[in-house]
Amino acid sequence: MYGAVPGSDRLTNPDWLLERLGKLPVPSRYRVAFSGGLDSTVLLHLMASVRERLTVPLDAVHVDHGLHPHSGEWARQCEAVCRRLGVPLEQVKVDARPRLGEGPEAAAREARYRAFVEGLEPDAFLLTAHHEDDQAETLLLQMLRGAGPRGLAGMPEYRPLGKGWLVRPLLALSRSELRGWAEAVGLVWIEDPGNFDTGFDRNRIRHDILPGLTQCRSGAAHAIARSAMHCAEASELLDELATADLEGSEAAPGILAAEPLRTLSPARLRNVLRVWIRLQGLPVPDTANLNRISEEVMSARGDSEPLVHWPGAEVRGYRGHLYAMAPLEPVPKGWQMEWSGAGKLVLPAGLGELSLRPVQGRGLKAELFARGSVSVHFRKGGEHCRPAGRGHSHLLKKLFQEAGIPPWERGRIPILGVRGESAAVAGLCYGEAFVAAVGEAGLELLWNRGRH
């Protein structure tokens, strides 16, 4: 155990760390995210000091972003520290180059966490060394972005990550406490010069703004982090309220009935929409787009087709319902393919695949495929179909309307054609002239819809 350090009492005895971790479910292993910097070096040494009292394995992971000329040297230094402590280390190299329109900080974080997720076994804990000052910086950043209670809640101590969990056991400690203890016990760590580049917002807050606030009021970082905790509680209450308001309004996954929500106040409606969109796994819209959804899509009547979109998501309206989805990939214009019926036919634009299942006395006549006369295409406009049992031919548009299929989906439904006629519309109907008779070999059309 490390000796006592003045001003760092919480770090002197690691029992507090075991107590903190003991409040959480028992993981399959503890994995320390080890960059080699001050904070993660402290966390790794603390975990190594209690390793004999852990009931599950302990290891570490180092992610090499390849962005700094010394990154290879840093990786070797991390390996040496772990070897000295007897902690197994996994080293992962990632491509952290930013994509078009993406900032370098965001690109590095995304690449890093993707590597964390890929290497995290079920029920394992990934431990990161975020501390109280990081929490204060996060809240100030979110304030500058105009975030609401959820954004101002900062970083939770414990949240799902891939198949495991992300845990931040040092959130109650300050940067100065970590540094004081590390210096007193003689730890060596890596100083990334990028952490001092005030061209990045977080670094500017860390080196310029937060110290200024601390001069204005001592304990500023602690007070700001406490505000984040209050915002987290407020966010939880808003989520609970939204869950209650959504009851009875969700018609299907990603589909929301508008009528039950019309009596809600504007603020309460925006809260419901925000939570509902987030629950679909989609990015939450900004205030302007949220207002457009509540005003334009919620109030749409009849067969109007309002649409509000923002990066990564969109909400459409049709017949009193709201549809939240990722942006639709366009279907290639004029796409058509001959199909023998053998195996699976993969459709374009992420629309899944078609397959056939042998049946008797129903489905399409098997002989159609034997003759090689079947093609697959999407709606161009003006197509007709005479559904089995209806007796008359109808425009596909009319059949889609009767079935309540939203307009944006109609051009994304595969149609099987035989000699210019609609033999089948996937998920909707078979053409009467092409249906297998009683006792005749038939083929049932199956459509695995993919992500459309």
Q: What residues form the annotated binding site for ATP?
A: 35-40
Q: Which two tokens stand for residue 341?
A: 């019926």
From the annotation, which residues make up the binding site? Answer: 35-40
CA-nearest of 431, 444, 449 to 361 is 444
